[in-house]
Chains A and B, each alone.
Chain A
Amino acid sequence: MTAVSIHARGLTVLAPDGRTMVQPLDLDLVGGETVALIGESGSGKTLTAKSLIGLLPPGFRAQGEVRYGEQAFELSMPDAAWRPLRGRTVSLLLQDPFTSLSPVHRCGEQIAWTIEAATGRRLRGAARTSAIAARLAEVRLPERVARAYPHELSGGMRQRVAIAAALASDPVLLIADEPTTALDASNQAEILDLLHGIQTARGMAVLLISHDLGLVRGRTDRVLVMRSGEIVERGDTATVLAAPEHAYTRALIEVDPAMRALAADDGSTADGSADDGSTPALAAGTDRPTAVLEASGIVKRFGERTVLDDVSIALRPGEVTGVVGESGSGKSTLARCIAGLEREDGGEIRFEGVVLAPGRGSRTPAQMQIVFQDPYSSLNPMMSIGAILREALHVARRPAADVAVLLETVGLPADFAGKRPAQLSGGQRQRVAIARALAPRPSVLICDESVSALDVSVQAQVLALLAQLRDELGLAILFISHDLAVVREIADTVTVLWDGRVVEQGECARVLTAPEHEYTRLLIAAGRRENPRAAASDLASKGTR
């Protein structure tokens, strides 16, 4: 395929109320090139992407012009005029592989639709099977996936199917809108490397939309940084990341845990013993408080499958205990067993030395509280923040007047009591969820992926809040995350779970600088967004478990 160049001129997006969501911008891409558009949620990067394929949300309007090769198009043209362009010229890969495929159709069929739409011919029999198999092979999936339904595949595999479906029409430009945000760290790198490989082989242009600077590093040629609908910086990826000119870019780099981890690594000595100072030193032999909660030998099965196999963990006051692992490693199940939301099948959980029976009945609110991942669904949208907190205070037999105290504890102004969840940003909602969890003055706070749904800068603020609560209230925090970089930020000790087993456990600084188990090394590599494929095959070849 000859390289086609894509040029957008004066691309502007207007909201239904006439506000300018994306300021006029120019964008140039050449086949074989990847350009990253970086920005936080709400910066207008997704609107920019959708305007290039004519799929803006209802009411939004685009202005400007785009040239795909020789042909020029008005971005404001009606839907019917966009249709012939979609698929064959430009295709879009969405963020969430769990929703971007139809759940009731087989994967092969969904890929075939794209091929049929692009060629205008119905595919039948053997021709159909082999065409689908070829597309699956390109994303390194076996032929049998064609017969599978999306729910039978893992997130990473689903995103591969989505890529195969998006590319089956051989577009000259692929817009990938946060294609890995919903995936685990190791899957993220694999998917991006896969995209990169296909793009090079095809000579296709890729516009990668992301909020994550770490992901962009080493995988894109140029980068555009967007803030409030405006491009504040553009240039070669390496140059921009090494010497950012705009304060916003610098701030983005600073709050990115993966980027910070890199900086920390560069500063540490080769033997990995240096402490980067971000975690309190926990040198062996120093006095550590006795554990407030101890889980030992926890076993949990779902039917035939053993999800937790002999997992032990101790939570101490004033310490953050990190648990890392990919989805399916059992880390959330562990949190739920400790919180009594699941009943463990074996082992025991002791709170201040007393054994807690499995299930919720044996626990009191003042022992432990849990903060979930998604602050959008964990707060009742019909209740004001004040009502949500008063309800929690009532259960804890505390006066309703303490609402202001709770809000202050999590760094929110007292007038937030009158607001509703919909009026709050993601970070503010998560603060409310934390405030609610603090109402019964718990000894243990369980954070199950509590910062994973947040933008990096907001993530940093919530992490700082958790660290502050740990120090000021002496909370024992169980911090579950798939993101090693985030755990590194906050945890004092870390437990690495793999396939329901503890593969490594110890002081956070030690485990992350001098990991003993290969799987931990693999996770660390993935966390840095390096190529984990080598590490993975390495691990597989040694047959380590």
Chain B
Amino acid sequence: MLAVRVLGMLAILLVLSFIVFSMMYLAPGDLVKTLLGNRPASPEAVAAIREQYHLDDPFLVQYFTWLGGVLTGDLGESIRLQVPVADAIASRLPVTLALCAVAFVLALAVSIPLGVASAVHAGRPVDRVGSALGIVGLSAPTFAVGLLLLYVFAYYVPIFPVYGAGDGGLDTLYHLVLPGITLALGLGAIVLKLTRTALLRELDADYVTSARARGIDDRVVHRLALRNALIPIVTGASLVLTFLVGGTVLAETTFALPGIGLLLQDSVLFKDIAVVQALTLLIAVAIAVIALLADLAYLLLDPRVRAKGVPA
């Protein structure tokens, strides 16, 4: 089962790399002009650049040159940064990972308890507050929230930094608070709604009535209902995480964070194909791994799934 999945994933990655490569090839813009900048474009210089980056090869040959490199472990060189792609990504990855982690933890830490409280006290004030927050979180665009937070908490009440990733450690965490909240708001709203709906359905189930009739404490009853509601919640959380991995670019742009989102944006604008390709594949792999982990979590969470075996 696992082997089938991995093979399927490799096929998807191959197709994806081809599509992204073609789109970069077709996109307007001339690498030579970008590289030369204001310097005079002598025919020799242009020819040298075209030669160096195989720009005169047919499209398919260019693609297979890149693919051959990747398969032998060489992701190529960033044209823009003039460093190996692997180094360029490695230097940017920590900030993005930290941002994802902060946003994910913030989103879950608020939305799951609030979702549980909303379901347990459905129709009461806590549920109303939860619903209102959910609607705001779902409908506010990420960049708008980011700008608003910057305006309020970095400009009017300057308690948080405006841009940058800080100097590492706690300082970085401090710098990631606003972008983290920005990302967490929309994602947390989804998890909040999912948690509330899933738990409401479980609280309505016969086994909950049965447990209450047996005199079992409400706290224990809620815990057992939540345990049953975990599958939809984990599904929701994993979807949110996959969205996060691809979605940091907006927050990174707004807050000028030097992560892979910003790197991706710059590389696309520069037609830095090797970096774009590597980043796309990295994000795709991350999403596939998260989906696989979610499916493995079902095995842990539901003995009925366990009895049937790993979902393909």
**Contact check: which of B206, B216, B303 meets A96 at CB < 8 Å?**
B206
Please give, as numbers and ranges, the residues of chain A lying within 8 Å of B213 by CB-CB distance.
Answer: 53, 55, 86-87, 91-92, 94, 166
Assess A103 versus B302: contact at CB under 8 Å? Given A87-B215, A117-B220.
yes
**Quick check: B224 and A165 within 8 Å, CB to CB?**
no
**Quick check: B301 and A104 within 8 Å, CB to CB?**
yes
**Contact check: which of B209, B227, B228 meets A94 at CB < 8 Å?**
B209
Nearest Cβ in chain A — how far from B258, in angstroms?
Answer: 44
Please give, as numbers and ranges, the residues of chain A lying within 8 Å of B50 by CB-CB distance.
Answer: none
Contact with A along B199-222 (1 / 0, CB 8 A): 000000111011111111110100
**Contact check: which of A86, A91, A92, A104 meets B228 at CB < 8 Å?**
A104
Give bound CA distance, A101 to B207, whole Å: 5
Interface residues in B259-292 (C-beta closer than 8 Å to A): none
**Quick check: A113 and B214 within 8 Å, CB to CB?**
yes
Nearest Cβ in chain A — how far from B220, in angstroms?
Answer: 6
Assess A94 versus B210: contact at CB under 8 Å? Given A102-B228, A151-B304.
yes
**Quick check: A88 and B215 within 8 Å, CB to CB?**
yes
**Quick check: B303 and A87 within 8 Å, CB to CB?**
no
Give bound CA distance, A304 to B166, whole Å: 62
**Quick check: B207 and A102 within 8 Å, CB to CB?**
yes
Give bound CA distance, A151 to B207, whole Å: 14
Please give, as numbers and ranges, the residues of chain A lying within 8 Å of B301 by CB-CB distance.
Answer: 104
Residue of A nearest to B220 (CB): A113
**Quick check: B214 and A100 within 8 Å, CB to CB?**
no
A162 interface hit (Cβ, 8 Å):
yes
**Contact check: which of B207, B215, B227, B228 meets A114 at CB < 8 Å?**
B215
Please give, as numbers and ranges, the residues of chain B lying within 8 Å of A86 by CB-CB distance.
Answer: 212-215
**Quick check: B205 and A165 within 8 Å, CB to CB?**
no
Interface residues in B38-81 (C-beta closer than 8 Å to A): none
Give bound CA distance, A152 to B214, whole Å: 23
**Quick check: B207 and A100 within 8 Å, CB to CB?**
yes
Assess A165 versus B214: contact at CB under 8 Å? Given A104-B227, A104-B302, A117-B220.
yes
**Contact check: which of B211, B215, B218, B228 meets A103 at CB < 8 Å?**
B228
Give bound CA distance, A85 to B215, whole Å: 7
Please give, as numbers and ranges, the residues of chain B lying within 8 Å of A168 by CB-CB distance.
Answer: 214
Nearest Cβ in chain B — how far from A35, in angstroms?
Answer: 18
Nearest Cβ in chain A — how far from B32, in angstroms?
Answer: 61
**Quick check: A105 and B227 within 8 Å, CB to CB?**
yes
**Quick check: A152 and B206 within 8 Å, CB to CB?**
no
Contact with B along A505-534 (1 / 0, CB 8 A): 000000000000000000000000000000
**Quick check: A118 and B210 within 8 Å, CB to CB?**
no
**Quick check: B214 and A87 within 8 Å, CB to CB?**
yes
Contact with A along B222-233 (1 / 0, CB 8 A): 001001100000
A99 interface hit (Cβ, 8 Å):
yes
Please give, as numbers and ranges, the residues of chain A lying within 8 Å of B302 by CB-CB distance.
Answer: 103-104
Please give, as numbers and ranges, the residues of chain A lying within 8 Å of B228 by CB-CB distance.
Answer: 102-104
**Contact check: which of A94, A96, A117, A162 meets B215 at CB < 8 Å?**
A117
**Quick check: B210 and A92 within 8 Å, CB to CB?**
yes
**Contact check: which of A55, A99, A114, A117 meets B205 at CB < 8 Å?**
A99
Nearest Cβ in chain B — how far from A453, in angstroms?
Answer: 17
Assess A162 versus B210: contact at CB under 8 Å? Given A103-B228, A104-B228, A149-B304.
yes
Q: Which of the listed residues B206, B227, B302, B307 has the most CB atoms from chain A within 10 Å of its own CB?
A: B206
**Quick check: A105 and B215 within 8 Å, CB to CB?**
no
Contact with A along B11-39 (1 / 0, CB 8 A): 00000000000000000000000000000
**Quick check: A152 and B209 within 8 Å, CB to CB?**
no
Nearest Cβ in chain A — how far from B201, in angstroms?
Answer: 12
Nearest Cβ in chain B — how far from A436, in angstroms?
Answer: 30
Residue of B nearest to A98 (CB): B206
**Quick check: B210 and A100 within 8 Å, CB to CB?**
yes
A169 interface hit (Cβ, 8 Å):
yes
Give bound CA distance, A91 to B228, whole Å: 23
**Quick check: A101 and B215 within 8 Å, CB to CB?**
no
Contact with B along A139-181 (1 / 0, CB 8 A): 0000000000101100000000010011011000000000000
Nearest Cβ in chain B — how far from A530, in angstroms?
Answer: 30
A83 interface hit (Cβ, 8 Å):
yes
Assess A152 versus B307: contact at CB under 8 Å? Given A100-B207, A101-B207.
yes
Give bound CA distance, A103 to B224, whole Å: 10
**Contact check: which of A84, A94, A151, A162 meets B303 at CB < 8 Å?**
A151
Give bound CA distance, A262 to B215, whole Å: 41
Q: Which of the listed residues A91, A102, A118, A162 has the most CB atoms from chain B within 10 Å of its own CB?
A: A102
Give bound CA distance, A213 to B221, whole Å: 35
Nearest Cβ in chain A — how far from B170, in angstroms?
Answer: 40
**Quick check: A87 and B216 within 8 Å, CB to CB?**
yes
Residue of A nearest to B301 (CB): A104
Q: Which of the listed residues B217, B220, B227 has the most CB atoms from chain A within 10 Å of its own CB?
A: B217
Please give, as numbers and ranges, the residues of chain B lying within 8 Å of A91 by CB-CB distance.
Answer: 213-215
**Contact check: which of B207, B224, B307 meets A99 at CB < 8 Å?**
B207
**Quick check: B207 and A83 within 8 Å, CB to CB?**
no
Interface residues in A440-482 (C-beta closer than 8 Å to B): none
Please give, as numbers and ranges, the residues of chain A lying within 8 Å of B217 by CB-CB distance.
Answer: 117
Please give, as numbers and ranges, the residues of chain B lying within 8 Å of A149 by CB-CB distance.
Answer: 303-304
**Quick check: B224 and A102 within 8 Å, CB to CB?**
yes
Please give, as numbers and ranges, the residues of chain A lying within 8 Å of B212 by CB-CB distance.
Answer: 55, 86
Please give, as numbers and ranges, the residues of chain B lying within 8 Å of A166 by CB-CB distance.
Answer: 210, 213-214
A-B CB contact pairs (8 Å), 5 listed: A88-B215, A102-B227, A102-B228, A103-B228, A117-B214
